[in-house]
Amino acid sequence: MAVFFWVVIIVISGLAELHTNALAALFVGVGAGVAFVVALGGASFPIQALVWLVVTAVTMAFVRPLALKKLRAPAGDLSNPIHTTLTGQFGVVEDEVGDEIHPGRIKIRGESWRAVTEAGNNITVATPVVVTKAYGTTLWVEPREASRAE
């Protein structure tokens, strides 16, 4: 029965990690995997649980920070705009785009992005826009000039 318990923990941890991408549930699952192996060896459930807790704590404390450092790019200075591969790209407004207090959404390359504008007026739905800069994952857009529209 304990073997089944660890399999369930492993599956739930894997699914949770797919949805959070925080590299926390992953190490809970790793601990459960080691406890699963210990359970196959015939250890009692309290020993299995102790192994799970220790392996989870050790991997969270030592492996997770290293993995996060390797997998995540530095955010950079979010106080300054950056140019990205989306700078200069054209998109279409999905939800009305306003200033930083009233952001909207645009669609570029089939993906939905949070967007704001510096223009005094809001940009209405279905208006073609061009990306001028980015702050983090927020795109700054302006209406696309009619002469450039295709």
Calculate mean pLDDT across residues 33-45. Answer: 96
- Predicted confidence at residue 28, as pLDDT, reads 96
User: pLDDT tens, 58-70?
Assistant: 999 999 988 888 7
- Predicted confidence at residue 71, as pLDDT, reads 75
- Predicted confidence at residue 100, as pLDDT, reads 85
Task: Please report, for the chain, the start and end positions of each structural domain, with discontinuous segments joined by +.
Answer: 2-71, 90-144
- At residue 104, φ and ψ (nearest 5 deg) are -130, -160
- Predicted confidence at residue 150, as pLDDT, reads 47
3-state secondary structure at position 29: helix
CB distance 136 to 114 below 8 Å: no
Amino acid at 3: V
Calculate mean pLDDT across residues 6-20. Answer: 92
Nearest to 123 by CA among 108, 102, 109: 102
- Predicted confidence at residue 115, as pLDDT, reads 94
Residue 56 has pLDDT above 60, yes or no: yes
User: pLDDT tens, 96-125?
Assistant: 999 888 899 999 989 999 999 987 789 999
DSSP class of residue 97 equals B
In this predicted model, which residue has the larger pLDDT, 147 or 105?
105
Residue 141 has pLDDT above 90, yes or no: yes
End-to-end Cα spacing for the chain = 64
- What is the chain's mean pLDDT, rounded? 87
Residue 75 has pLDDT above 70, yes or no: no
CATH topology of domain 90-144: OB fold (Dihydrolipoamide Acetyltransferase, E2P) (2.40.50)
Half-sphere exposure of 148 (CA within 13 A, CB side): 11
- Give the predicted TM-score (pTM) of the model: 0.51
- Predicted confidence at residue 149, as pLDDT, reads 46
Sequence-distant (6+) residues with CB within 8 A of 30 are 55, 56, 59
- Predicted confidence at residue 19, as pLDDT, reads 83
- Predicted confidence at residue 62, as pLDDT, reads 94
